[in-house]
């Protein structure tokens, strides 16, 4: 359990979410607040991850955030080095909440698209965006096509 008592709901528990299933309730993911971490199977998002070995159905870390009212989900994998972005679980935003930031070397990404806008990631680099849909008070992971 984390020593951060204000955020225990987000620590240590990362459910494995299959495509078509709910990731979490909408209420958990507050606008400009902490993200919700979860795991996805590579087979559910195969068209989005061309750089992994598809002979193995790997589980990959991911997260969903809300920015300007809209939910956005990404693999939790920096485009600079394949490391998770959040130093503290669920904390993905810069202080001014205008960008997603990688805690390792401060690469920053647009929350809406995952496009890298500063830092050491290569020109034009992007986070891997996952398709999600908000319905009936829940956020669902969509099958990647």
Under the criterion CB under 6 A, does residue 77 sit at the interface with ligand FES?
Answer: no
Instruction: Give the residue, chosen from 64, 73, 99, 107, that forms a contact with ligand FES under the rule CB under 6 A.
Output: 107
Query: Cα–Cα distance between 89 and 64 in angstroms, integer?
Result: 12
Which CB sits closer to ligand FES, 71 or 127? 127
Under the criterion CB under 6 A, does residue 75 sit at the interface with ligand FES?
Answer: no
Q: 20 vs 48, 135, 139, 142, CA distance in Å? A: 16, 12, 10, 5
Instruction: Give the residue, chosen from 25, 52, 54, 105, that forms a contact with ligand FES under the rule CB under 6 A.
Output: 105
Q: At 61, give phi and psi (nearest 5°).
A: -75, 145
C-alpha distance across the termini of the chain, in Å: 37
Take residue 26 and report the two structure tokens written for it: 């909408």
Under the criterion CB under 6 A, does residue 116 sit at the interface with ligand FES?
Answer: no
Under the criterion CB under 6 A, does residue 104 sit at the interface with ligand FES?
Answer: yes
Under the criterion CB under 6 A, does residue 49 sit at the interface with ligand FES?
Answer: no
* Contacts (CB under 6 A) with ligand FES, residues 4-33: none
């Amino acid at each position: 359990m984390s020593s951060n008592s204000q955020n225990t709901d987000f620590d240590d528990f990362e459910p494995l979410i299959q495509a078509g299933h709910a990731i979490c309730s909408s209420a958990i993911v507050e606008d400009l607040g902490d993200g919700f971490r979860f795991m996805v199977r590579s087979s559910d998002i195969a068209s989005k991850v061309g750089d992994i070995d598809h002979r193995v159905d790997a589980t990959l870390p991911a997260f969903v955030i809300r920015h300007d009212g809209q939910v956005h989900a990404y693999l939790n994998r920096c485009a600079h080095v394949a490391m998770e972005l959040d130093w503290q679980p669920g904390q993905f935003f810069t202080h001014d909440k205008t960008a997603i930031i990688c805690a390792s070397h401060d690469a920053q990404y647009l929350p809406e698209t995952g496009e890298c806008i500063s830092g050491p990631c290569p020109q034009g680099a992007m986070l891997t965006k996952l398709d999600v849909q908000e319905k009936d008070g829940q956020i669902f992971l969509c099958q990647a096509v």
